[in-house]
Structure 1
Amino acid sequence: MASSASSAAGTRRRAAVVVNPIKKTDYDIRALIDGICRDEGWDEPMWLETTKEDPGRGMAREALEAGVDLVIAAGGDGTVRCVAAELTGTDTPLGLLPLGTGNLLARNLDIAVDDPEGAVTAALTGTDRRIDVVHVTLDRELKGDVFLVMAGLGYDAALMGDTNDALKDRVGWLAYVDAGVRNLPGKPVKSTIRMDGGKEISGHPRSVMGGNCGKIVGGLEIFPGARIDDGLLDIMTMAPKGRFGWFAVVAGLLRRGKGKGTSVEYYQCKEAEIFTEVPQEFEVDGDHLGKASHVAFRVDPSALRVRMAHGKKDPAILSDPQV
């Protein structure tokens, strides 16, 4: 359900800003947000910086304990994911000031990635929409993780883990292309996917991915039609065969998995488990988490409130494109 973020008469609100200090910008983030808060009648925001040891979860908990009305994640996909993990299941909304290379959640929700003033204004004055969160457990560990956009086991995770940070700072998302080309050689691994505790799919894919929404940089839909509020998890497998197998994968992505010989398959479920014969690289929302031979996904429907600008939304991403 949509709700206005405007303050009731006589009531002042306060936002917390969880900011990644290593993200460089050509403007003063603090001055920008302080000024917009002042102009919109909000109190001076609470400022919390992430650290290498804690990329955002502890700061988000501190903001919740302070009773703020909004938590703005100012950083890349990793900062957004960590803050969202703590806000999941609460009524405190998440606002976004995209500062990263991918900014995948912002792109999927049409939140400005190149207009910081617009993004902050939307966070303070926009509307709330509830979206799904996907919980992740690696090798049956007690403490899991979450993702908002997509996660992957195999090739895509190896790509993320092998991306040169210095190159990423210099050329942006093209650094992923460099890592992708270097990681094309490799052997498929025997895997089994169990969906909703029943149906099993076995094969030898190079990558198994789970998606909460579909778009990546450049507008390419990795998970076509995956809606972020439908209570469903989208699963995709990529299984290139032979010397020119990756061409079939590309064809499968362009044809959205339709047609013969594409080497790409899509499924939908609410829960999924992935078993691999040997441990594989794993990533969530672009963050490389190491290796695992068992991954469990579980959708938490409508678990997170996200603040975004008023206006019609992409029906391919949100089930109800209401204003």
Structure 2
Amino acid sequence: MSSQPQAQDLAAETDPVSRRAAVVINPTKKTDVDIRALVDEACSDEGWAAPLWLETQVDDPGQGMARQALEEGVDVVIAAGGDGTVRCVAAELSGTDTPLGLLPLGTGNLLARNLDVPVDDPAGAIRTALTGTERRIDVVHVKVDEAVDSDIFLVMAGLGYDAVMMGDTNTALKDRVGWLAYVDAGIRNLPGKPVRTMISIDGGTPIQRRLRSVMGGNCGKIVGGLEVFPGARIDDGLLDIMTMAPKGGLGWLNVVAGLLRRGKGRGTAVEYFQCRSAEIWADVPQDFEMDGDHLGTASRISMRVDPQALRIRMPYGKKDPAILTNPEP
């Protein structure tokens, strides 16, 4: 009589527990394929349980859904949307043992591009989220003006010109031509006056500049393969700061030259700093963005790196050594 319970106990010990993914999806992102069918099929093929589907809302772009996924005890949380969805989900997963998967459905898809996650192959991105290699990356905490709570970014944040460009991008044009719409906005907003700005690096004595833009970067590349923060690695525990200060009629040409020289050489049209924390003050409120999302205006921002705080899935294979400190899989 005792053999049957023992056999059941042995089966319970040897049968693998089905893994489960949660998908936090932005329903406003339209695709040419059935994303739900692709995810369901991939989970079934890999022997995973049916995924938990959680849609973002206007008043909750992902944080609450990510918290619910953690409460459900899922094995991976997949952010299916643009960079804003990724950032909101990552804010909740940071500091936990639950990894983040990326299913890019936006225009910029900045983090996915830096980590070689397929941006034009949803099925490939889903496979990566379920079975890809896992790394730990840095998260940058940001406080804006007198806010008590901090937010995070994974790729970059900016005060000034870059944020104006993000906020003034034509939505209809972006739907037609993708990231090239940012170029249009950038050209239209080239005219403008620099603002007196103070920057303190790692708590040091503030330096003063007259700037059009100051940006903090966690990794280097943006859309079009442009490397804005050369040598910025997403897992090195360091924050990269870049300033842009065009002066005179050839000001923006000097900025372009500074970018091409990676900030080396004479002149202050483009300057780079590396640190673990930074504080930035502008004389007057400036447009502010994080990971490509325009978030209003700010006069003061503080940034602090939380080293390797986020577990994330990415494809197997050698990575760009400008992105990860260890490029091997």
**Which TM-score applies when normalising by structure 1?**
0.96
Partner AA of 1:134 in structure 2: V
Partner AA of 1:220 in structure 2: L
Partner AA of 2:36 in structure 1: R
The CA distance in 2 between the partners of 1:52 and 1:175, in whole Å, is 24
The alpha-carbon deviation at position 38 of structure 1 amounts to 0.2
The alpha-carbon deviation at position 200 of structure 1 amounts to 2.2
**1:274-315 CA deviation, whole Å, 9 max, x = no partner?**
011111110000111111111000000000000112211111
- Alignment partner of 1:167 is 2:189: no
1:259-274 alignment runs, 5 A limit: 259-261=265-267, 263-274=269-280
Give the corresponding residue for 2:158: 152
The CA distance in 1 between the partners of 2:31 and 2:316, in whole Å, is 26
The CA distance in 2 between the partners of 1:240 and 1:283, in whole Å, is 20
Contiguous gaps of at least 5 residues in structure 2: 1-13
The alpha-carbon deviation at position 262 of structure 1 amounts to 6.2
1:180-219 alignment runs, 5 A limit: 180-219=186-225
1:12-161 alignment runs, 5 A limit: 12-161=18-167
Are the structure 2 counterparts of residues 201 and 48 from structure 1 closer, same or farther at C-alpha, using a change threshold of 3 Å? same
Give the corresponding residue for 1:4: none
- State the structure with more CA Rg: 2
- SS of equivalent to 2:211: coil
Are the structure 2 counterparts of residues 247 and 262 from structure 1 closer, same or farther at C-alpha, using a change threshold of 3 Å? farther
Question: Does the 8 Å contact 1:208/1:237 carry over to 2?
Answer: yes
Question: Does the 8 Å contact 1:248/1:262 carry over to 2?
Answer: no
Give the corresponding residue for 1:5: none
The CA distance in 1 between the partners of 2:110 and 2:58, in whole Å, is 21
The CA distance in 2 between the partners of 1:47 and 1:210, in whole Å, is 33
- SS of equivalent to 1:96: strand
Give the corresponding residue for 2:11: none
The CA distance in 2 between the partners of 1:300 and 1:140, in whole Å, is 21
The alpha-carbon deviation at position 261 of structure 1 amounts to 3.5
Moved over 6 A (4+): none
The CA distance in 1 between the partners of 2:268 and 2:195, in whole Å, is 18
The alpha-carbon deviation at position 93 of structure 1 amounts to 0.2
- SS of equivalent to 1:253: helix
- SS of equivalent to 1:204: strand
Question: Does the 8 Å contact 1:81/1:285 carry over to 2?
Answer: yes
Partner AA of 1:202 in structure 2: Q
Identity of aligned residues (%): 74
**1:246-282 CA deviation, whole Å, 9 max, x = no partner?**
0111111111111223610000000000011111110
- Alignment partner of 1:286 is 2:292: yes
The CA distance in 1 between the partners of 2:159 and 2:224, in whole Å, is 22
**1:177-224 CA deviation, whole Å, 9 max, x = no partner?**
111111111110000100111142211010000000000111110000
Partner AA of 1:269 in structure 2: C
Out of 229, 234, 239, the residue aligned to residue 235 of structure 2 is 229
Are the structure 2 counterparts of residues 262 and 252 from structure 1 closer, same or farther at C-alpha, using a change threshold of 3 Å? farther
Question: RMSD of aligned C-alpha atoms?
Answer: 1.1
Partner AA of 1:47 in structure 2: W
The CA distance in 1 between the partners of 2:173 and 2:45, in whole Å, is 38
Aligned length: 316
- Alignment partner of 1:177 is 2:183: yes
Query: Bigger shift: 236-245 or 174-183?
Result: 174-183
The CA distance in 2 between the partners of 1:23 and 1:168, in whole Å, is 13
The CA distance in 1 between the partners of 2:184 and 2:108, in whole Å, is 15
Question: Does the 8 Å contact 1:238/1:264 carry over to 2?
Answer: yes
Question: Does the 8 Å contact 1:103/1:113 carry over to 2?
Answer: yes
The alpha-carbon deviation at position 12 of structure 1 amounts to 1.2
The alpha-carbon deviation at position 134 of structure 1 amounts to 0.3
- SS of equivalent to 1:185: coil
- Alignment partner of 1:246 is 2:269: no
Give the corresponding residue for 1:320: 326
**Which TM-score applies when normalising by structure 2?**
0.94
The CA distance in 2 between the partners of 1:172 and 1:218, in whole Å, is 11
